[in-house]
């Protein structure tokens, strides 16, 4: 009798348990879905931003970011079909379509003979509105995998044309890298094509602000663009531009009416700063990305039963570590506070400075060190002190790469300038207690954070291809 009772109890419990597990994802349909992709944002990048926020207030630890407080956390494997260390196109294809592919493909199979439908395209077919936002150019690999299908990520013009011909509702962020092509005396223009197809294209603050629900299909380009048609680095100031958070807020405003939306927001320059081993720029991009996520979180707080937010990365960039061989057990992340511009902007200032150099070597080098002190705090005795050996090394690099050209009357190359910038950035990282192993991507797992009904599906170790599949399941999207 006792045994029977126990059996009934166990059966009863397991039925309740199974039911609650099986039912959870389908309890309520997700009406509003956000996928945030921090390009190149591994765990080290997140932790560095968090530790920096504490260090500037003389504290040790990690300041919680909006997304690091999400209830569900998992790990994502990122490898591509044909390479262990992935790239943004292959990783983006996995995150957008649920398929592994080869390096460089934009939502196509490894042979580039077949297109894969993205979660944005599927969502659109089933009545959701769709928004694609990025801080880099809108035809870049990560945004492109959601609306385009190309054998190569470098087909910027073709990707732009597919954007113009797409039925997405909102594009926001950077501009186009290659929007014009002349074929048989015919000038084809991506923006013109988009307007013909019913898109409203805005690139002023005024026009951006006046966009409202009912504005129709929109392409909103940041008024002020930096290199490669991307938004400027956050550390360089975003005056006169909407921020990534502003773009996210505007997209919510425009897409909210109707049957729900799917929105992808990319923090694209975390990756670029990682490639450059530019720690301070990397931190500010990550924090700005978190501000965009905070906008989505505020929306979630109003619609918690029907909103899902998933935050992940396509891969890590730079092999960043919180510690280095020189500093061993010491850290000084506060030193990064003195950096006031990105490596990209410093390069431009360096070129400008070197164009008007005097032939007096001491004077020329003193001018360089003034520039370096203003930009990074390096060599400024009240900020980051340099030893005489460290100053000597910078001088040697300056003489070899720049001054030797001035004497000969030749032009330094881009690589000459970069040799100096890279060395200075390495010095700052070394003195902050950070380490970099690469100027490329790395193969380590990236984290995924999720909040909303069914967010527990993203816990554990999952493959990047599972992310869109799980989101589709929760949004009740069928292929």
If one asks whether residue 45 binds Zn ion (CB under 5 A), the answer comes out as no
Who's near 76: CB < 8 A, 6+ residues apart? 312, 313, 445, 446, 447, 448, 461, 462, 463, 464, 467
The DSSP code sequence of 295-331 is HHHHHHHHSTTTEEEEEEEEEEES--BS--TTTTT--
Cβ 478 to Zn ion, closest distance in Å? Answer: 33
Segment contacting Zn ion by CB under 5 A, of 231-239, 258-266, 267-275, 294-302: 267-275
Segment contacting Zn ion by CB under 5 A, of 265-273, 376-384, 395-403, 470-478: 265-273
H or E, element range at 188: strand 186-189
| Residue window 305-324: x/- pattern of binding to Zn ion, with contact defined by CB under 5 A | --------------------
Of residues 261 and 436, the one with the C-beta less far from Zn ion: 436
Helices (H) and strands (E) in the chain, counts: 17, 13
Q: Which residue is nearest to Zn ion (CB)?
A: 271
Segment contacting Zn ion by CB under 5 A, of 185-193, 269-277, 330-338, 339-347: 269-277
CA distance 288 to 278: 16
Cβ 283 to Zn ion, closest distance in Å? Answer: 17
Cβ 280 to Zn ion, closest distance in Å? Answer: 18
Q: What are the φ/ψ torsions at residue 73 (nearest 5 degrees)?
A: -130, 140
Cβ 161 to Zn ion, closest distance in Å? Answer: 24
Of residues 139 and 271, the one with the C-beta less far from Zn ion: 271
- Classify residue 187 by its DSSP letter: E
Binding-site size, Zn ion (CB under 5 A): 1
Of residues 228 and 253, the one with the C-beta less far from Zn ion: 228
Cβ 439 to Zn ion, closest distance in Å? Answer: 10
| Residue window 216-255: x/- pattern of binding to Zn ion, with contact defined by CB under 5 A | ----------------------------------------
Cβ 200 to Zn ion, closest distance in Å? Answer: 31
Q: Which residues pair with 267 in a beta bridge?
A: 38
Cβ 36 to Zn ion, closest distance in Å? Answer: 17
- Identify which of 168, 160, 222 has the alpha carbon closest to the alpha carbon of residue 198: 168
Q: Which residue has the tokens 């003389």?
A: 58
CA distance 446 to 464: 9
- Identify which of 265, 59, 301, 271 has the alpha carbon closest to the alpha carbon of residue 173: 265
CA distance 157 to 344: 25
- Identify which of 392, 389, 410, 390 has the alpha carbon closest to the alpha carbon of residue 401: 410
The DSSP code sequence of 92-131 is HHHHHHS----TT-BSB-TTSSSB---HHHHHHHTT-EEE
Cβ 427 to Zn ion, closest distance in Å? Answer: 23
Of residues 274 and 373, the one with the C-beta less far from Zn ion: 274
Segment contacting Zn ion by CB under 5 A, of 210-218, 245-253, 268-276, 367-375: 268-276
Cβ 284 to Zn ion, closest distance in Å? Answer: 18
Angle between helices 414-432 and 388-398 (to 10 degrees): 160
Of residues 104 and 377, the one with the C-beta less far from Zn ion: 104
Of residues 45 and 271, the one with the C-beta less far from Zn ion: 271
The single residue among 139, 158, 246, 271 that binds Zn ion, judged by CB under 5 A, is 271
Segment contacting Zn ion by CB under 5 A, of 65-73, 264-272, 290-298, 401-409: 264-272
| Residue window 69-108: x/- pattern of binding to Zn ion, with contact defined by CB under 5 A | ----------------------------------------
Q: Rule CB under 5 A: which residues touch Zn ion?
A: 271
């Amino acid at each position: 009798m006792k045994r029977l009772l126990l059996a009934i109890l166990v059966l009863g419990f397991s039925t309740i348990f199974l039911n609650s597990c099986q039912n959870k994802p389908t309890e309520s349909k997700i009406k509003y879905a956000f996928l945030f992709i921090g390009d190149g944002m591994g765990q080290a990048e997140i932790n560095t931003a968090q530790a920096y926020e504490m260090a500037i207030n003389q504290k040790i630890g990690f300041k919680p970011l909006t997304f690091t407080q999400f209830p569900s956390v998992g790990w994502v494997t990122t490898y591509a079909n044909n390479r262990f260390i992935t790239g943004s196109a292959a990783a983006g294809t996995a995150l957008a379509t649920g398929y592994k592919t080869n390096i460089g493909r934009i939502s196509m199979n490894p042979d580039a003979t077949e297109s894969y439908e993205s979660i944005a395209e599927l969502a659109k077919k089933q009545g959701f509105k769709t928004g694609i936002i990025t801080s880099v150019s809108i035809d870049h690999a990560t945004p492109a995998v959601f609306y385009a299908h190309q054998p190569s990520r470098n087909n910027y013009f073709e990707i732009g044309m597919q954007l113009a011909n797409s039925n997405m509702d909102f594009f926001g962020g950077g501009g186009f890298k290659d929007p014009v092509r002349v074929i048989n005396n015919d000038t084809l223009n991506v923006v013109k094509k988009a307007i013909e197809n019913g898109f409203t294209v805005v690139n002023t603050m005024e026009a951006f602000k006046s966009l409202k629900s009912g504005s129709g299909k929109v392409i909103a380009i940041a008024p002020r663009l930096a290199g490669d048609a991307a938004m400027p680095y956050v550390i360089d100031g975003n005056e006169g531009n909407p921020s990534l958070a502003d773009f996210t807020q505007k997209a919510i405003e425009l897409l909210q009416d109707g049957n729900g939306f799917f929105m992808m927001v990319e923090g694209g320059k975390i990756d670029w700063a990682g490639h450059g081993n530019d720690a301070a720029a990397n931190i500010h991009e990550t924090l700005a990305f978190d501000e965009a996520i905070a906008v989505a979180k505020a929306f979630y707080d109003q619609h918690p039963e029907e909103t899902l937010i998933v935050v992940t990365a396509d891969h890590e960039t730079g092999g960043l570590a919180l510690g280095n061989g020189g500093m061993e057990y010491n850290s000084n992340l506060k030193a990064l506070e003195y950096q006031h511009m990105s490596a990209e902007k410093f390069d431009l200032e360096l070129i400008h400075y070197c164009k008007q150099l005097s032939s007096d070597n001491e004077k020329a080098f003193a001018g360089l060190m003034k520039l370096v002190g203003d930009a990074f705090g390096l060599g400024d005795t009240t900020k980051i002190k340099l030893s005489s050996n460290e100053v000597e090394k910078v001088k040697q690099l300056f003489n070899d790469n720049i001054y030797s050209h001035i004497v000969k009357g030749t032009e330094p190359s881009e690589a000459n300038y970069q040799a100096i910038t890279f060395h200075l950035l390495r010095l700052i990282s070394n003195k902050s207690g950070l380490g970099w192993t690469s100027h490329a991507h790395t193969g380590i797992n990236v984290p995924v954070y999720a909040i909303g009904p069914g967010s527990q599906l993203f816990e554990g170790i999952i493959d990047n291809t599972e992310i869109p599949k799980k989101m589709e399941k929760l949004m009740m999207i069928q292929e």
